[in-house]
Amino acid sequence: MSGATSGAGHTVGGVARRIVAPLRRLGALLFSVALTFLGLTGVTFAIGRFMPIDPVIAIVGDKASQETYDRVYRELGLDQPVLVQYGTYLGKIARGDFGNSVMTARPVLEDLVRVFPATIELAFLALVIGVVLGIPFGVIAATNRGRWPDQIVRFMSLVGYSMPVFWLGLVGLLLFYAKLGWVEGPGRLDVAFDDIVAPVTGMLTIDALLAGENDVFVNALGHLVLPASILGFLSLAYIARMTRSFMLAQLEQEYILAALAKGLSPWRIIWVHALGNVWVQLVTVIALTFGSLLEGAVLTETVFAWPGLGLYMKNSLFAADLNAVLGGTLLIGAIYILLNMLSDLVYAMVDPRAREPN
């Protein structure tokens, strides 16, 4: 601490700046996250309220007597003011009570815990594909600005942005499964391999490795690779494009010129110096990509009969199982919000410019 030798006022000011300012920013961040989460629950609550299905009739059936109807109406708290109902709703969510699913007759939370690992497995592999390919593509595009590698990456990104993911999934199934036989078909596992490994993490590839069942692992991977590649292509498009624009901003900086003048190899300058400074921004992009992958999973899982959160939500939707749909919406929304917050935090930790207001 250099403050010890200088004036007392300076020390106090310095400490205050170092401790209070980050705390205040953390507080502001938590406040905005809480507010956003309140907004999210407000929206799901409102959706639950103006759903055209009468929640009482959904439970008692339309042949119930008026007495029964009134009793259930009161039990559900529908006679309370809206704000009180919202408060009750928030309290339930805080306790992890999303209600029961009509379709599976189990608590929604239990269902979500059961189906979510399948989605995580899919989205995570997709993200790995997107990052491992997307970042180098973006770097190559930036260093070849305006030349053919740049044009190819740019066009590929636009194709990725324009692709209906459910259609790409169908075409992929048609080509790589039906015609070429390179990958396994819909679902997570062949029937012959069902129930061989006990679920530990819920992610079949990992569970199979943990149990030492190599056949199951290979089969599960065969099922996973196509949907993950298709989702991965979409994230690749976004990551490559963002990497390109971040890198272009770095390559214009004077320190690049200085490094060149010093005699460093261009390879080292591009991949170590410039890319190293881009990482911070990429963290945000990757976090947002993961959120959009969870969304893309709804459509991809429908196409690939992948028993994850997306398929669960889609099936619930058609069973008019509102608790399940809203539970899934809340889960994805909450992850979205948390990812946003995490990327803000990481940004502030890694990049000193984001820490100092001036």
Partner 1 sequence: MQMRAWLLDPAPASRRQAQLGGWFRAWLAFRRNTLGMIGLGIVLLLIGVAAFAPLIVDPASALTQVLADRLQPSSWAHPFGTDELGRDILARVVFGARITLTIVVLVSLIVVPIGLAIGLPAGYFGGWIDAALMRFTDIFLAFPRLVLALAFAAALGPGIENAVIAIALTAWPPYARLARAETLTRRRSEFIQAAELQGASHLRIIATQIVPLCLPSVIIRLTLDMAGIILTAAGLGFLGLGAQPPSPEWGAMVSTGREVLLDQWWVATIPGLAIFVTSLGFNLLGDGLRDVSSGRG
Q: Which residues lie near partner 1 (CB under 8 A)? A: 32, 35-36, 39-40, 43-44, 47-48, 50-52, 155, 158-159, 161-167, 170-171, 173-174, 178, 291-292, 294-296, 298-299, 302-303, 313-314, 317-318, 322, 325-326, 328-329, 332-333, 336-337, 340
Place of tokens 């997307």: 134
Angle CA 182–186–189, to nearest 5:
85
List the structure tokens of 84.
């009180």
Q: Which one-letter amino acid corresponds to residue 276? A: G
Nearer to partner 1, 7 or 164 (CB): 164
Question: Can you tell me which residue has the tokens 């709703």?
Answer: 89
Minimum separation from the CB atom of position 41 to partner 1 (A): 11
- Tokens 């740019």 sit on residue: 154
Of 156 and 196, the one with the shorter C-beta distance to partner 1 is: 156
Q: Compute the CA torsion angle 139, 140, 143, 144 (nearest 10 deg).
A: -150
Q: Which two tokens stand for residue 4?
A: 């010890």
User: What is the closest distance, in whole angstroms, from the C-beta atom of residue 317 to partner 1 in the complex?
Assistant: 5
Rounded to whole angstroms, the Cα distance separating 135 from 128 reads 11
**C-beta neighbour count of 217 within 10 angstroms:** 20
Q: Measured from the CB of residue 106, what is the shortest distance to partner 1 in angstroms?
A: 20
In sequence order, the β-bridge partners of residue 107 are 100
- Shortest Cβ 277–partner 1 spacing (Å): 23
User: Which residue number, 168 or 259, has a Cβ lying nearer to partner 1?
Assistant: 168
* Least distance CB 178 / partner 1 (angstroms): 5
Residue closer to partner 1, measured from CB, 86 or 279: 86
Nearest approach in angstroms of CB 75 to partner 1 is 22
Q: Which residues contact 346 (CB under 8 A, 6 or more apart)?
A: 280, 283, 284
DSSP one-letter string for 202-259: S-HHHHHHHHT-HHHHHHHHHHHHHHHHHHHHHHHHHHHHHHHHHHHHHHTSHHHHHH
Q: Which is nearer to partner 1, 46 or 113 (CB)?
A: 46
Q: Which is nearer to partner 1, 4 or 178 (CB)?
A: 178
Q: What is the DSSP string of 298-354?
A: HHHHHHHT-TTHHHHHHHHHHTT-HHHHHHHHHHHHHHHHHHHHHHHHHHHHH-HHH
Residue 14 tokens read as: 């310095």
Measured from the CB atom, the residue of 143 and 205 that comes closer to partner 1 is 143
CB of 248 to partner 1, least distance (A): 11
CB of 47 to partner 1, least distance (A): 4
Lookup: tokens for 119? 């989605």
> Least distance (Å) from partner 1 to the CB of residue 190?
18
Q: Tell me the C-alpha distance between 126 and 232, whole Å.
A: 4
Radius of gyration of the chain (CA): 26
The residues with which 100 forms a beta bridge, in sequence order, are 107
**Pick 68 or 329: Cβ nearer partner 1:** 329
What span, in angstroms and rounded, lies between the C-alpha atoms of 16 and 310? 48
Give phi and psi for 107, each to the nearest 5: -60, 140
Cβ closer to partner 1: 211 or 335? 335
Quick check: 184 and 222 in contact, CB under 8 A?
yes
Q: In this complex, which beta carbon is closest to partner 1, that of residue 167 or of residue 255?
A: 167
